Structure 1
Amino acid sequence: MQHGGDVVEELTADHREVDELFDRIEAVPARGPERRRLLDRLTIELVRHAVAEEQHVYPAVREHVPDGDALVDKEIADHLRIERLLKDLEGMGADDPELNHLFVKLRTEVRAHVQDEEGNLFAQLRTACGPELLDLLGQEARETKETAPTRPHPGARSSALASKVFSPGLGLVDRVRDFITGRGE
């Protein structure tokens, strides 16, 4: 799916990329190095996506969508569960027997989160916000993903403001670590 457009189109494109990565991970040998490489790629995409949502989408939902606070609180709880699973997966080698179990758990959590966002939150956001705001949010989300962290940091982002302040620094450190280790190439 093509990136660009408004925030719903941008984040939906991310969702399709993540779906594709899940399929690719399932298609490679369970204990091979390709699975580890693809899991790292999946982690990078999920973390960057979550940061963009937390910094730009969720504040807009809180402000413009009726009962937006409750919607966002649920989405943030989903992100925290997913990020903890990613953190657990991060330290595992490709041959760790627990890796496949955590991968299945992660896939289940992410797919449920995506289904809820696309079927509920995105529709309400599109109804509550005009096209100009959705376009602006899409641009901001794309820009944020460029500097966002690439590794899970559960608990590092307690609010949109904290995320905006700390994420670029965490992102820089993560990208340096990725460069040194060759992760995400």
Structure 2
Amino acid sequence: MTLISQTIKNDHRELEDAYNKILSSSTDDEKVRWQNQFTWELARHSIGEELLVYPAFEKNLADGRQMADKDRAEHQKVKELLYKFQGLKPSDHEFKPTLKSLWSDLSQHIKEEEEHDLVKLENALQQADSEKLTTSFKRTKKFIPTRSHPDAPDKPPYETAIGLMTAPLDHVADIFRKFPSESKSELPP
């Protein structure tokens, strides 16, 4: 089994790969496919953390509430930029600057999360609890929205309820979106 910190780090590497593929793609079609992959991964990852990982901070760490609130605030900024980015076309003059701004904020969040937050969480969890959290995180990502909805609540139980209503719409729309044929992560159905 995999620990939650490794699962989160794997997601972070997949996001970084998709980001780099957007920038290195030579055609607009490729950029759109990787843009959709990046959006799909980041939306699911962020909501999964908010539903499961941040409550684990609050439950298991003395300063967990402050860590979770800080991370939720960082997520909100990223969600707003992702919302803007997911609506742009590669030909839009804001496409690349918006992506770079989004990645700048996200990469700082990732660094802090990997070097500080997840280390503290793993130190507080038993291995079996970390593995259970991983299983729940992976399962949850299958049922949550796949696009950014920055106005949605970011704390359970409200995020869960809104997510369950929004996710089916996102999933149906994903059927009509283009995705890359190869990716390190699973591809949308």
Q: TM over 0.5: same fold?
A: yes
Query: Secondary structure of 1:53's match?
Result: helix
Asked whether 1:182 is paired with 2:177, we answer yes
Q: Determine the C-alpha separation between the residues in 2 that align with 1:182 and 1:92.
A: 14
Aligned to 2:60: 64
- TM-score with structure 1 length normalisation? 0.92
Indicate which of 73, 76, 80 corresponds to 1:80: 76
| Alpha-carbon distance, 1:183 to partner | 4.0
| Alpha-carbon distance, 1:165 to partner | 2.2
Query: Secondary structure of 1:158's match?
Result: coil
| Unmatched runs of 5 consecutive residues or more in structure 2 | 181-189
- TM-score with structure 2 length normalisation? 0.90
Q: Determine the C-alpha separation between the residues in 1 that align with 2:32 and 2:179.
A: 10
Indicate which of 159, 162, 166 corresponds to 1:166: 162
Aligned to 1:16: 13
| Alpha-carbon distance, 1:157 to partner | 2.3
| Unmatched runs of 5 consecutive residues or more in structure 1 | none
Tell me if the contact between 1:6 and 1:139 (Cα under 8 Å) persists in the aligned partners: no
Note the aligned Cα RMSD (angstroms).
1.4
Query: Secondary structure of 1:60's match?
Result: helix
Asked whether 1:36 is paired with 2:41, we answer no
The count of aligned residue pairs is: 180
Tell me if the contact between 2:50 and 2:154 (Cα under 8 Å) persists in the aligned partners: no
Aligned to 1:134: 130
- The within-5 A match list for 1:111-130 is 111-130=107-126
Indicate which of 99, 102, 117 corresponds to 2:98: 102
Tell me if the contact between 2:72 and 2:154 (Cα under 8 Å) persists in the aligned partners: no
Q: Deviations over 1:40-82 (max 9, x none)?
A: 1101000100111011110010111121111111100111111
Q: Determine the C-alpha separation between the residues in 2 that align with 1:35 and 1:166.
A: 30
* More displaced stretch, 19-28 vs 109-118: 19-28
| Alpha-carbon distance, 1:163 to partner | 2.0
